[in-house]
Amino acid sequence: MKKGYYILSFLLLWTTLLFADPKFTAIASKSEVAVGEQFEVDFSLDGGGEHFIPPDFRGFQVLSGPNPSTSMTSINGVTTYNTTYGYIVTATKEGTLTIDAAAIVSAGHTLTTNSLKIKVKGQFTQAQQQAQQQQGIQPAASAPADDAQPATQDLSKQLFIRAEVDKSNVYVGEQITLDYKLYTRVGILASQPDKAPDLNGFWNQDVVNKDQQHPVWKTEMYKGLKYNTVVIKQTVLFPEHAGDLIIDPFAITFLAQIQLPSRNMLDDMYGNVKNVKYQAKSTPLTIHVNPLPEAGKPANFSGAVGDFAVYADADKRELKANETLNYTFEITGKGNLNLINAPKLNPPVDFEKYDPKTDDHITVDATGVSGSRKYSYLLIPRHQGDYTLNSVDFSYFNPATKRYVTLPSKAFSIKVNKGDVQVNVPAFNSADQQDIKMLGNDIRYIKVSSPGLYKEGDGFYNSPLFYVLLLLGPTLFAGAFFYRSWLTQYNSDAVLVKSRLANKIAAKHLAAAQKELTTGNKQAFYEAIAKGLFGYLSDKLNIPAADLNRENIADKMKAKSLDGTLIRKLEDTMDMCEMARFAPSTSIAQQEVFENAKNIINEIEDKI
């Protein structure tokens, strides 16, 4: 079995060489060294090759090398191979020295690397050598034959995850780009996310990689060593409140393949490897969030933070009474666009205004959230005349300048002509519901024709129907009064109202998830499931969005006397969603996740 595995790996390696477009590069662990200081020079090939021709290393002494090694990395089902020829060298004289290009034959073509410029200045002292050894860099005399091969007991220095942010001192609402980057010097056969960070205190949105099945690997120097790196998760964060907020670790369990020393000729040909299960976890990050300044804050400021511009337009400058007018107000720029509320529009009193329609064109990428949000208002003038749609002021805080900015939109003059005289529509003043007017038929003409004659008692007056209808009005008024009082009392508690409506809102998210399930869009499906579950639990259990985490949810469910089986079922479903979102290669059944989420909501509705 073991021999067959090596043969299969060998065949896969050569298949990659035949069909890939290899790159042959040279990289040094340091660009500035002292005379006598040891450093690494690696010649790396994407795939494999033969007839390696090293440079002559003029001005340098080769202490070890060439040390060939082959690594295999598999992330999300994509496997890559890399062959490296490593050297440990030391400079023998001062000056700017050049390491010429190396050459190799791959897939029938001769490839050459780039040359390297090394600046050599001063002598390497004994104290510097001791400090280098304390950092884990051993002299070449005691180094193993292949310096690129890691020790099993020190895998943490060969495979780890780093959380990186573009800024750590921000204002409330200022966007932060968070990257989780994987660093590895060993082969990776498989990976499984253990726990996604909770990101409590942040509004967050993941950056969706359009080519998620083909991650972009790069070679990077870190603390004097060369690593293969890839960004495994990108998120844009917006702090929701001031203070020191903690970004929790992101943990992944890997199946790593490490190189062991060769024991015989077969190991020299195919390599001696060992598979090790290892959990890598990023270190927590602290973000210092400053409150927005009170000085200079505009009265109409509603929380927009970033850099924006506004544009307003009315589709008509002249129209008839009772015709529709479309007024649009668009906000473009970079910042917390998803959290911006509709601006306050105050049209003339003779205009009816309807709630705006929101149209988003927002992009979330590695640079942050940018795009536009447009609000479309439907206005209906009820009387003829000349009117003015006043400008709308939009205020935001710019963290780059640390100042508030107020942008006025353009004002529009609107001419309203007389409408159709047959139209008989009451117009309501939107401000105080007074000044009710009748359009058309303002004057009722006196009827001059003689009325018909009838006998006393034959008419409608004093008939039973007359008294029934006479009492019907007060009865309906009293019923409406008591119903309105009951309805006001019924909706007075906002928490209970949200709890009652939680099931309907969750049903909309589940319907969206079922649609994405039908179309096969996995990423959108799991996002809809997560929004449905977390939104439902937030409303049903009265948990603010900033405090919505697994511990608070479990405590609230226990306080509602919900059994532990249901809580565990909910946690398992959340874990399945997280694993599916951050590990697209997993074999989790989408239909099972959908049915679990629906059953959990139904069980909670039955018991609360």
Task: State the chain's mean pLDDT as an integer.
Answer: 78
Indicate whether 509 pLDDT > 70: yes
CB contact set of 482 (below 8 Å; sequence gap of 6+): none
The whole-angstrom separation of Cα 83 and Cα 50 is 11
pLDDT computed for residue 75 by the predictor: 56
* Tens of pLDDT, residues 62-107: 877 777 776 666 555 556 667 888 888 888 888 899 998 898 888 7
Kindly state the tokens that stand for 22: 């290899």
Percent of the chain exceeding pLDDT 70 equals: 77
Q: What is the pLDDT of residue 404?
A: 94
The rounded distance, in Å, linking the Cα atoms of 345 and 391 is 9
Lowest mean pLDDT among 246-255, 363-372, 432-441, 452-461: 432-441
Assess whether pLDDT exceeds 60 at residue 182: yes
Q: What residue has token string 């690997």? A: 217
For residues 587 and 602, give the distance between their C-alpha atoms in angstroms, rounded to a whole number: 26
Task: Tell me which of 278-292, 334-348, 427-441 is least confident.
Answer: 427-441
Q: What is the pLDDT of residue 207?
A: 85
431 pLDDT tier (thresholds 50, 70, 90) = very low
Confidence of residue 401 (pLDDT cuts 50, 70, 90): very high
Higher pLDDT residue, 272 or 151? 272
Q: What pLDDT sits at residue 429? A: 45
Q: Does 375 score more than 60 pLDDT?
A: yes
Structure tokens at 202: 């942040």
Which pLDDT does position 523 carry in this prediction?
A: 78
The DSSP letter of residue 93 is: S
Sign of CA dihedral 554, 237, 252, 527: positive
Query: Do residues 63 and 38 make contact, with C-beta atoms less than 8 angstroms apart?
Result: yes
Angle at 299 between CA 297 and CA 303, to 5 degrees: 65
Once rounded to an integer, what is the mean pLDDT over residues 264-286? 73
